[in-house]
Structure 1
């Protein structure tokens, strides 16, 4: 199987403020736009790409349709098929369009939800080594302070899940 070519990948950096319920992160969300050959089994290719860069691919499926975040893990979401509108940053965040070949890299605490998607929408979810037991939390101001402490304790990933090597914008 041919690997996904990441050499010419464009990347956007998106920042989201803490809104008192969704913590978000001082680190940016990374949105990569990769070119994927039409014949390629993109889900398997994303699993191989993430695994090669010390991120464990754990599941294939959609993105929950409610606002949530992971206070104990960073997350990479590789869009294997279809398209979707995903809101990042919580209720007052930003909605982005993603399609086959895109990868969202979410720092711990970043709110996200799927607003709408095509019937064939599928992502591969991956987590840095040691962060495979991720927790799912909904925004809640009553536990916000506790979530901030958990997020602050999450170590940075060993490598960038798309390009490998260090992630200078996450230092």
Structure 2
């Protein structure tokens, strides 16, 4: 079973995992935002794990330089894959690579330098189906695996990507 098949099969689990990540991020933000106001001891009592810095996926991947390299390798695969290469037939790939790098940096917890369209508007009218979305996820997972990214981090990335399905598919 491919990685994309596992994502599709465990769609609810992925969404639940994504929700847990979001809740954890909100808790981290709330308690650390008020750290200066309350003092470290009080925050530690309220949430014993809040003193530990939560490492973002952006940091786990090594920042923008590594994400840019992954995006380049990813598009090398995409442009050779018969399931999805036609979507990029008339695309300025230099611009696309830059935009995707900025989007992923932001989506993975890094700086927000993305100035493109939202996912729904950016994919409107492309008629992307679930199998094509799965192909993209599969190619991304292959790329990251080849780059030595641990499977648990790839799982976090899948959880970040899965909620985008509703804005990308069948428009």
Q: So what's the TM-score if we normalise by structure 1?
A: 0.22
Structure richer in helix, relative to its length: 2
Structure richer in strand, relative to its length: 1
Q: So what's the TM-score if we normalise by structure 2?
A: 0.22
